[in-house]
Amino acid sequence: MIESWRWYGPLDKIELGEIAQTGALGIVNALHEIPYGEVWTREAIAARQTMIADAGHGQKWHVVESLPIHERIKRGEGDLTELFANYRQSMANLAAEGLTTICYNFMPLIDWTRTRLDHPLKHGGTSLRFEQRQICALEMFMLERAGAENDFTPEIVAQAKQWYDQSTEDDQTALIAAIMAGLPGAYERYDVTSMKEALKLYDGIGRDDIRSNYARFLAEVIPAAQDLGMRFAVHPDDPPRDIFGLPRVMSNAEDIAWVFAQQDAVENGLTLCSGSLGANPANDVPAIAREFSERIHFAHLRNVAKDADGSFEEAAHLDGDTDMVELVSVLLGEEQARKEEGRADWELVWRPDHGHELLHDIGSGTHPGYPLIGRLRGLAEMRGVIKALSHKNVQFS
């Protein structure tokens, strides 16, 4: 398995030399400074590759994460001809520069969502956390979303009202800032007022509509990916449930099967994110990986610990609810099968995902969820699992 590291380019506080010291020489990157819908030029792509190469550490840009999808495509709004043409041109430009794997998501309006970025850990350090009472307070009492109370239990509604009544303006500002933290680069951030307006654009758009718009997107890009020799890898919803009244359509095995059925081609594949899928109590992540192993083109390895009320937090990679040893065994087994088929691209690219802020990470200003030391810990733990399972006497799942 190819070790990689998400790097935010010039926006990142972590330098390529520091990443090289972790031992991960694969780079996962995107041109985050380019807004939705605009073409990624060959010149801009090549400049980023040159920046990585000129650092002199032997690093290589392996996966594009992400080539963002314009919100109008998700809403199916207006004439989308130019947006689809721009997207395909960006694909062609990436392929021309040797980049053939694109990680993306189809989450409406908001990317990964947490309510706190600095939840304290028992022995020091902090983690990301998703708290049901706070998301309920935001939806019901700050955004005043009609019908929000129907999406939560009476117990959570009562806790949300208590939190809201006791919260300060700073508490509420911190909550909305945490929600916005999942949007990297040139993505629009919202305050409460602008988020209310943004949500209005999705009024009347239901699950079937989102699925229809997603199917159209796949029909527009997967044939182009086949022509270009590219692989698309959809990232699951995070959290894997509807949120803010917006339908999410990539949350479980049924959703993954639906996505693959829209364009039944190997180019239409999956980013296996163990943390996103693992936040749904109904998901057996190793079983999902086993079922769809042939279509996994990229992997995010992390873990979560879930509460009974639907809250969850980022756990250490080997300490959460998902059996990461079993999961890695599935991935190694798929690698072995691809190697035996004689495929040149048999190795799976993976990266340690969200890490705890530990030691000198705290206060360093790195992207939320993407500290140096915390991810290094995750990388080292998963590296050990991979090494142990790769021993000649171990049988893969």
Please identify every residue annotated as catalytic.
235, 273, 300, 353-354, 370
Bond preceding residue 154 cis, omega within 30 of 0: no
C-alpha angle 98-99-101 in degrees, rounded to nearest 5: 145
Rounded Cα distance between 233 and 266, Å, is: 10
Rounded Cα distance between 50 and 201, Å, is: 40
The contacts of residue 100 (CB under 8 Å, 6+ apart) are 94, 228, 229, 230, 231
What sign does the dihedral 164-170-173-174 (CA atoms) show? negative
Helix (H) or strand (E) holding 63: strand 60-65
Tokens of 352: 């340690």
What sign does the dihedral 155-161-167-173 (CA atoms) show? positive
Rounded Cα distance between 6 and 391, Å, is: 28
